[in-house]
């Protein structure tokens, strides 16, 4: 299917009965949504389960969906809500998974054996420090930061996705940046970049 077709046109096609249109939408967003959820929940299997849930909900609701916002914004809203629910449930019923992060790292390494292992380990270590720093942010700061930086959404769309005012998003973002600045100071001072 033509990549240049707008998401909204694909949605219309799906609403007219074309399942291939949904397949195309899923192909476009599954990596993004999975990546977003993986960063948010830090567990591969849970992220996969939540990604399925996002597309399942989208499939169900898409028939009646009206393009008040962009399709991607809507999809991220579903993902964001599921991620919030996930963290809420985890807080209420904590499940202690051993070395979750290591499992994730193994998958990451296993996917790219051709590169320089030393560099890869160095990158991984730096990545770990940065991810831990991002995890230190408050839930709202983290959501806002992830959506803007990792998902590349403009501030206006982040505001729509999270149901906040643009000004509030900017405040969270500013605080997130200040905190990251403090947490990542050792990396910056070591001329790591």
Partner 1 sequence: MGKCIISEAHAIDYVYGELDPSKMDEYKEHLMTCNNCTRMVNSFKRVLQLVDDAEGVYAHNISMPKNLQSKLYRRINAEDPVETTIASKFTSTISNLLTLMNQQKATVFSLFIVVVIGTTFFLTDPFQYIPTYKENVDDTAHVKIQEYRQLEIQRNMEDVLRNRHLRNSNKWDRVSQLNRVKDQARGTDWATIAHQHLKSVHSEL
Which chain residues interact with partner 1 by CB under 8 A? 23, 26-27, 30-31, 34-35, 38, 44, 48, 51-52, 55-56, 59, 107-112, 123-124, 126-127, 130-131, 134, 148-150, 154-155, 170, 173-174, 177, 180-181, 184, 187-188, 192-193
Q: Compare residues 36 and 74 and give the one whose CB is closer to partner 1.
A: 36
Q: Compare residues 69 and 109 and give the one whose CB is closer to partner 1.
A: 109
**What is the smallest separation between the CB atom of 26 and partner 1, expressed in angstroms?**
6
* DSSP output for 121-172: HHHHHHHHHHHHHHHTS-HHHHHHHIIIIIS---HHHHHHHHT--HHHHHHH
**What is the smallest separation between the CB atom of 52 and partner 1, expressed in angstroms?**
6
**What is the smallest separation between the CB atom of 84 and partner 1, expressed in angstroms?**
22
* Total number of residues shown for the chain: 193
Q: Compare residues 69 and 130 and give the one whose CB is closer to partner 1.
A: 130
User: Running DSSP on this structure, what letter comes out for residue 115?
Assistant: S
Measured between alpha carbons, how far is 124 from 178 in angstroms, rounded to an integer? 24
Q: Is 2 exposed, middle or buried (0-12, 13-18, 19+ CB in 10 A)?
A: exposed
Q: Compare residues 84 and 130 and give the one whose CB is closer to partner 1.
A: 130
Q: Compare residues 69 and 171 and give the one whose CB is closer to partner 1.
A: 171
Q: Report yes or no: 48 and 35 within 8 Å, Cβ to Cβ.
A: no
**What is the smallest separation between the CB atom of 184 and partner 1, expressed in angstroms?**
6
Measured between alpha carbons, how far is 95 from 29 in angstroms, rounded to an integer? 29
Q: Report yes or no: 77 and 101 within 8 Å, Cβ to Cβ.
A: no
**What is the smallest separation between the CB atom of 1 and partner 1, expressed in angstroms?**
14
């Amino acid at each position: 299917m033509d990549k240049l077709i707008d998401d909204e046109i694909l949605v219309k096609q799906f609403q007219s009965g074309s399942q291939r249109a949904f397949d195309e939408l899923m192909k476009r967003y599954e990596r993004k949504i999975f990546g977003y959820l993986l960063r948010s929940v830090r567990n591969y299997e849970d992220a996969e389960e939540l990604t399925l849930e996002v597309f399942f909900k989208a499939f169900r609701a898409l028939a009646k969906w009206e393009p008040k916002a962009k399709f991607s914004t809507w999809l991220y809203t579903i993902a964001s809500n599921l991620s919030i629910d996930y963290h809420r449930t985890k807080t209420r019923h904590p499940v202690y998974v051993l070395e979750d992060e290591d499992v994730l790292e193994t998958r990451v390494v296993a996917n790219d054996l051709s590169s320089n292992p030393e560099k890869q380990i160095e990158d991984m270590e730096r990545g770990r420090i940065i991810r831990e720093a991002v995890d230190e942010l408050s839930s709202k700061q983290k959501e806002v930061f992830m959506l803007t930086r990792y998902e590349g959404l403009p501030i206006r769309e982040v505001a729509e996705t999270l149901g906040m005012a643009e000004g509030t998003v900017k405040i969270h973002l500013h605080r997130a940046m200040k905190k990251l600045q403090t947490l990542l100071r050792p990396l910056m001072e070591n001329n790591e970049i």
